[in-house]
Amino acid sequence: MHVSPLSWIALTCAIVAAGIMLYYLVKRPPLDAAGKSVMMLGVGVLPIMVAMIGNMEGLAATEHQSFCGSCHTMDMWIEDANDPESESLAAIHSRSHKFGDKSCYVCHKDYGMFGYAMTKIGGMNHVYEFLSEWMWYDRDEVIEKIHIVRPFKNENCMQCHSMTGKIWNEAADHRGLLEDLRTGKTSCASAGCHGYAHPFSKPDEETPSHAETHSALQAPAAEGR
C-alpha cells in the first residue's frame, strides 16, 4: 500500500482535529472567543483540509487498476490485463509504461473538455449498476452477462494512434477504411481488425486467430518505434 505525502498531511490534520474535538467532549471548556477559535480549527479548518486532500487523492485513486479491480466483477479483466503471457489488446497496452497501472482509465475514459466529468458520471452509473445487480453475480454469471455500456470509441485509440502516421497509413486496410475508422463506423477493436480488447469475455463470438492479431499489431508497434 502506497501512501502519498499528501495523505500523511491529511492524516496529521485529522489527528489534530480529532484531538481538539475529543478534548472538548471530555473536558467541556468554556466556549469563549478563544475556545470558539480553537473549535473553528478543529471542526472547520482542519476537517476541510482533510476533505480537500481526500478529494484529490480519492479522484487520483479512481484512475488506477486497483480501483477498477476493487469490484469483483472486474477481476478477470484485471487478471488478463496483467497477464504477461496474454496477447489481448488490453494486456499489450497495459505492458506499456504509458498505460501501466492506469490502463483501464486511459483507454476507457472520455476525452475532451468535459471528459473528466463525464467519466466520473459514467463511473457513478457503474456504482449504481454494481450495487443494484452485479454484486450478486459470481464470475461465471458475470462473464455471461456483462457488456460495455456503449461501443468502444475509436476516438480513444486515436488519442495515441493519430491515424496520420506514415507507417500507420502504409497498411492497406487502414487506408481503405480511413473514413470509417475516423467516424467510428468500423471499430479498431473488432474481430476483423485488431480483435477485441478483452477477447476472453467473448468466447462465442468470432475472434481473430493469434497469428492475425499478432500481425495486425505489428503496424502500431512499429509506429511506436
As measured in angstroms, the least distance from the Cβ of 9 to another protein is 10
As measured in angstroms, the least distance from the Cβ of 35 to another protein is 10
The per-residue b/e assignment along 178-193, b for 16 or more CB within 10 angstroms, e otherwise, is: eeebeeeebbbbbeeb
Nearer to another protein, 38 or 217 (CB): 38
As measured in angstroms, the least distance from the Cβ of 131 to another protein is 10
As measured in angstroms, the least distance from the Cβ of 148 to another protein is 19
Nearer to another protein, 31 or 221 (CB): 31
As measured in angstroms, the least distance from the Cβ of 151 to another protein is 25
Nearer to another protein, 24 or 111 (CB): 24
Nearer to another protein, 5 or 112 (CB): 5
Nearer to another protein, 60 or 222 (CB): 60
- Interface residues with another protein (CB under 8 A) are 1, 3, 7, 10-11, 14, 17-18, 21-22, 24-25, 31, 36, 39-40, 42-44, 47-48, 50-51, 53-55, 57-58, 61-62, 64, 66-67, 70-71, 127
